[in-house]
């Protein structure tokens, strides 16, 4: 599986751990930056990762900023992206199981390295449950397409 990873300056150190973890588990990593702790704008990196996910160039994306929130908000502007902020194991698991999240956003100033690795592991290994959740994903896709009734 190919995974695109991106961060801003706040997430730079944690990104190194994420990239190393993914590579040791056999994932192919596409590192979209940033490549230093110099101040930068998180939407630039969210867009790079989210675009790769939406185009199918990678199967999943991981984004890291101070809280994960800004990255998720920016990534979710790209049609086809379902980015979830997960700084705990429960949210990581259910964002995949019920929401089929294809982008994980984490907060480097919220989560420590050990928990970040555990969150990443749960998120990467959890499969989408499907079933009743597919109907809900289709409603979100309708909203994305501008269908006024949300597919009801």
Q: What positions carry a catalytic annotation?
A: 65, 98
Q: Name 85's bridge partners.
A: 105
Quote the pLDDT of residue 152: 60
pLDDT of the residue at 21: 97
pLDDT of 33 reads 96
Predicted local confidence at residue 75, as pLDDT: 98
Q: What is the pLDDT of residue 29?
A: 98
Q: Taking the model in full, what pTM does it have?
A: 0.95
What domains, with CATH codes, occur in the chain?
2-144 (3.40.1400.10)
**Terminal alpha carbon distance of the chain:** 34
Average pLDDT for consecutive 10-residue bins of the chain (152 residues)? Answer: 98 98 98 97 98 98 98 97 98 98 98 97 97 94 84 60
- At residue 39, the pLDDT reads 97
Any idea what DSSP says for residue 131?
T
Contacts of 44 (CB under 8 A, 6+ apart): none
pLDDT (0 to 100) of residue 5: 98
Structure confidence at residue 148 (pLDDT): 72
pLDDT value for 151: 59
pLDDT at position 150 is 61
- pLDDT at residue 8, rounded to an integer: 98
């Amino acid at each position: 599986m190919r995974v695109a990873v991106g961060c801003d300056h706040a997430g730079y150190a944690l990104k190194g751990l994420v990239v190393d973890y993914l590579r040791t588990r056999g994932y192919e990593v596409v590192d979209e930056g940033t490549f230093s702790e110099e101040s930068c704008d998180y939407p630039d990196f969210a867009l790079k990762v989210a675009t790769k996910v939406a185009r199918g160039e990678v199967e999943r994306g991981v984004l890291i900023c101070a809280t994960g929130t800004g990255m998720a908000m920016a990534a979710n502007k790209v049609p086809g992206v379902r980015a979830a902020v997960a700084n705990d194991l429960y949210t990581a698991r259910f964002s995949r199981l019920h929401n089929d999240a294809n982008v994980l956003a984490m907060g480097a100033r919220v989560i420590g390295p050990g928990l970040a690795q555990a969150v990443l592991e749960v998120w990467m290994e959890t499969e989408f449950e499907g079933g009743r959740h597919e109907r809900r994903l289709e409603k979100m896709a309708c909203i994305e397409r501008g269908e006024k009734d949300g597919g009801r």
